[in-house]
Structure 1
Amino acid sequence: MTDHNLDISVLVGSRICHDLISPIGAIANGLELLELTGATPGPEMELISTSVRNANARIRFFRIAFGAAGEQLMGRTEIMSVLKDFSKTGRIEMSWVPSDPHPRPMVRLAFLALLCCETALPQGGAIRVDQEDDQWKIIGTGSTVSLDPVLWNTLGEAPVSGNASSATVQFPLLAEMATKLGRKVEFVHDSERVEIQY
């Protein structure tokens, strides 16, 4: 993946997230208006409401992971809000340990690494983002850790070889974006734990 293609893919991600967030917000507002007018809540309303919340949570997460990133700082409160809502959409609990604000590109790397770890936890589990000095660690734990070594070994390659699917695009993006930031991605794992470092 060339720098040009990478930049284009990031802009596409930003555009999609930007264009979807408004109509989803409008649906949420419409549901609130229905409640205010005394509409009787039922399973249909609850299904729509849950779907809107899940879609909004995923778009907020994907906007950071796949969208364009300036150098603005992101604080822990904002990051935890995104991770808390995103965790509700799946079987994995996500947590963020660093207390200081961080530049958005570094947060994006962590979010991409979270998505990589998620693929290794088919039965669910927990993923924690931690930082020691300048070293970042994303640690996934669960009853079962299962990963495709061919796919995971691409994390240390830049430019990335092979083809990624839409479900695994986070792997080449993490490798390429880490390289652009002067970082080398490494990982270790056992039967109940997987850890990405950069």
Structure 2
Amino acid sequence: MDDSQSIDLAAMLCSRLCHDMLSPVGALNNGLELLAMEDDPEMRKSVIALLEQSATTSTNKLKFFRLAFGAAGGFGDRVDVQEPKALINALVADKDKVEIHWAIEAANLAKPAVKVLLNFAQIAIDALVRGGTLDIGAEVRDGNCEIVVRATGTKVAFDDNIGKAIDGSLPHSELSSRTAAAHMIHLLAEGSGGGLQYARTEETLVLGAVLPEAEGLIG
């Protein structure tokens, strides 16, 4: 990937981040305006509660994007699995119809594997438009980290271009902020000698990855 393509990808990832942050940050701004105008104690209490909720959502999203998209300099080569689990749980905290099942026995994972895991989870959560079950598993064996994320629901919404970005068949000219994250993890997997794949039906989306556990590999 040349410099111009790298810049394009970075710009599209920033656009995705801004899109996802617009709602909670906008709610904070609206809440502050209401608070400035409201004198009733009970109403002010309700507005403050909404402000706290929006602040928590904003913080959780920033923490997620920091590790899913960014360099995440606060972490070493390996990341405690409790970190991505907490971030993914926070993503679905306000989605009553999404239930998560975990199957990760390893205490920690290499940072590239964590990036893939987080981005797979976000893609799967977005696909469960009517709710459903999210199964997330990761296993380290024979020098590889194997990751599987499965979304199951009454209706799974999945953009075919995201699938093409995952398997590397989407032309760079057709990338968008919606597909940039999938393209990023495809490049990450390809660069490490691993690979990504997906399969889908009307009610199921399965995302899989095999990544070498090379010593010192950093995403």
TM-score by length of 1: 0.73
Match of 1:51 in 2: 54
Number of residue pairs matched by the alignment: 177
Return the alpha-carbon distance in structure 2 between the equivalents of residues 160 and 172 of structure 1: 10
Does residue 116 (structure 1) correspond to residue 123 (structure 2)? The answer is yes
The amino acid of 2:10's aligned partner reads: S
Match of 1:98 in 2: 104
The amino acid of 2:193's aligned partner reads: G
Does residue 60 (structure 1) correspond to residue 71 (structure 2)? The answer is no
- 1:143-191 per-residue CA deviation (whole Å, 9 max, x = no partner) reads 1113232431231117853423323322211211111222211111122
The amino acid of 2:113's aligned partner reads: M
- Contact persistence 1:158–1:175 (CA under 8 A): no
Does residue 176 (structure 1) correspond to residue 187 (structure 2)? The answer is yes
Deviation at 1:89, TM superposition (A): 4.2
- Identity across aligned pairs (percent)? 20
Does residue 148 (structure 1) correspond to residue 155 (structure 2)? The answer is no
- State which of 202, 207, 213 in structure 2 corresponds to 1:191: 202
The structure with the greater share of residues assigned to strand is 2
- CA-based RMSD: 3.2
Question: For 2:174, what is the secondary structure of its paired residue?
Answer: coil
TM-score by length of 2: 0.67
Return the alpha-carbon distance in structure 1 between the equivalents of residues 60 and 83 of structure 2: 13
- When residues 155 and 80 of structure 1 are mapped into structure 2, their CA distance, relative to the original with a 3 A threshold, is closer
Deviation at 1:106, TM superposition (A): 0.8
Return the alpha-carbon distance in structure 2 between the equivalents of residues 149 and 158 of structure 1: 11
- Contact persistence 2:161–2:170 (CA under 8 A): no
The amino acid of 1:9's aligned partner reads: A
- Contact persistence 1:113–1:170 (CA under 8 A): no
- Contact persistence 2:124–2:151 (CA under 8 A): yes
- When residues 127 and 2 of structure 1 are mapped into structure 2, their CA distance, relative to the original with a 3 A threshold, is farther
In structure 2, list runs of 5 or more residues that go unmatched. Answer: 29-40, 210-219
Match of 2:137 in 1: 130
